[in-house]
């Protein structure tokens, strides 16, 4: 059974999901647009929430702070959270997000009988780099897994696939492998260790410097990373340095 929020935006998914043979019930959800119960590979029950946003609404929710400051926080009540983003990722040469003019395509004739698609700026003045960075930051910080869908048909298929992955007998094999370590590591340290040049020892210094805040770490500049003091196994202190800091910042800003 999939619970679908009865408010505008979510409600329009109900009839086509039913037409696909899924069991759907309309209700009022405090957080998320769709909610259902699934099973882990060990048989344990889990709750799965899907926050569905069209591209324009996603940009607006970041600009107003509604998604990171309210919705993402509330979604943490569920075991697994997905951010299903519907719409094309269109942008100009400067990286500014665009949307299509008109209902489908709008064409302007050219002298050589070719056609040109007409696009207009997406409200909110956001770049593709900023959008992707914000989306993946929510994934890192609160476990909101992003899924991109070009159109409504793809959206419905993705919802169907997620539902069956979590509910079909013998197919719920979702698991996360975590290599064993000699010392227990915080989630902060596990996350920053995915960045170039940061091992177990360095991750401890990074955690101390940013006081365990991934938001602060990911928003910091190169000179801040470079100035982090690290003590080696011989007790000698050194700075992380500009070279490693540049690589780290490049990864964090790779979409910009």
- Report pLDDT digits (tens) over 1-40: 899 888 777 778 888 988 989 988 888 888 889 999 988 8
Please state the length of the chain.
Answer: 256
Residue 58: which pLDDT band, with cuts at 50, 70 and 90?
A: very high
Domains of the chain: 2-88+126-167 (3.40.50.10130), 187-252 (1.10.150)
Bigger pLDDT: 158 vs 190: 158
- Report pLDDT digits (tens) over 59-104: 999 999 899 888 888 888 888 999 999 998 898 899 999 988 765 4
Q: Model pTM?
A: 0.61
Within 31-183, residue ranges assigned H as helices are 55-64, 66, 72-75, 128-142, 152-167
Statement: residue 184 has pLDDT above 70: no
Extract the tokens encoding 27.
Answer: 């209700």
Query: If you search the block for the tokens 């505008």, which residue do you land on?
Result: 8
Residue 111: which pLDDT band, with cuts at 50, 70 and 90?
A: very low
Query: If you search the block for the tokens 């009022």, which residue do you land on?
Result: 28
Task: Please give the sequence-ordered ranges of beta strands (E in DSSP) within the chain, or none if there are none.
Answer: 2-5, 24-27, 34-39, 45-54, 80-86, 90-91, 97-100, 107-109, 115-117, 119-121, 144-149, 229-231, 237-239
Residue 107: which pLDDT band, with cuts at 50, 70 and 90?
A: very low
Looking at residue 203, its pLDDT comes to 87
- Report pLDDT digits (tens) over 113-158: 444 568 889 998 899 999 999 999 999 888 899 999 999 999 999 9
CA distances to 60, 61, 79, 240 from 189, rounded to whole Å, are 32, 29, 22, 16
The rounded distance, in Å, linking the Cα atoms of 143 and 176 is 13
Within 24-147, residue ranges assigned H as helices are 55-64, 66, 72-75, 128-142
Hey, is 5 helix, strand or coil? Answer: strand
Looking at residue 72, its pLDDT comes to 87
Hey, is 179 helix, strand or coil? Answer: coil
Looking at residue 99, its pLDDT comes to 87
- Report pLDDT digits (tens) over 196-229: 888 877 888 899 999 888 888 888 888 999 999 9
Residue 146 backbone dihedrals phi, psi, to 5 degrees: -85, 140
Statement: residue 57 has pLDDT above 90: yes
Looking at residue 161, its pLDDT comes to 92
Residue 112: which pLDDT band, with cuts at 50, 70 and 90?
A: very low
Looking at residue 233, its pLDDT comes to 67
Q: How far is CA 34 from the centre of its chain?
A: 17
Q: Which residues, at least 6 apart from 12, have a Cβ–Cβ distance to it below 8 Å? A: none
| Nearest to 9, CA basis, from 155, 161, 138 | 155
Extract the tokens encoding 160.
Answer: 């169907």
Query: If you search the block for the tokens 């959206």, which residue do you land on?
Result: 155
């Amino acid at each position: 059974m999939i619970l679908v929020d009865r408010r505008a935006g979510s409600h329009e998914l109900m009839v086509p999901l039913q037409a696909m043979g899924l069991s759907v019930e309309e209700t009022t959800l405090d957080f998320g647009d769709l909610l259902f119960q699934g099973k882990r590979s060990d048989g344990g029950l889990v709750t799965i929430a899907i926050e569905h946003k069209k591209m324009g609404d996603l940009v607006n929710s970041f600009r107003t702070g509604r998604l990171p400051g309210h919705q993402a926080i509330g979604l943490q009540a569920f075991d697994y959270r997905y951010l299903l983003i519907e719409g094309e990722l269109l942008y100009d040469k400067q990286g500014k997000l665009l949307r299509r003019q008109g209902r489908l395509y709008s064409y302007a004739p050219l002298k050589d009988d070719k056609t040109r698609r007409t696009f207009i700026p997406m409200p909110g003045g956001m770049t593709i780099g900023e959008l992707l960075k914000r989306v993946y930051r929510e994934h890192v910080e609160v476990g909101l897994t992003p899924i991109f869908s070009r159109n409504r048909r793809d959206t419905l298929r993705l919802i169907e696939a997620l539902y069956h992955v979590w509910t079909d007998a013998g197919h719920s094999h979702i698991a996360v492998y975590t290599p064993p370590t000699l010392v227990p590591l915080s989630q902060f340290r596990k996350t920053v260790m995915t960045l170039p040049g940061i091992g177990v020892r360095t991750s401890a210094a990074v955690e101390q410097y940013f006081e365990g805040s991934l938001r602060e770490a990911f928003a910091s500049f190169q000179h801040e990373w470079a100035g982090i003091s690290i003590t080696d196994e011989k007790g000698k202190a050194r700075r992380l340095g500009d070279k490693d800091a540049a690589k780290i910042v490049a990864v964090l800003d790779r979409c910009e």
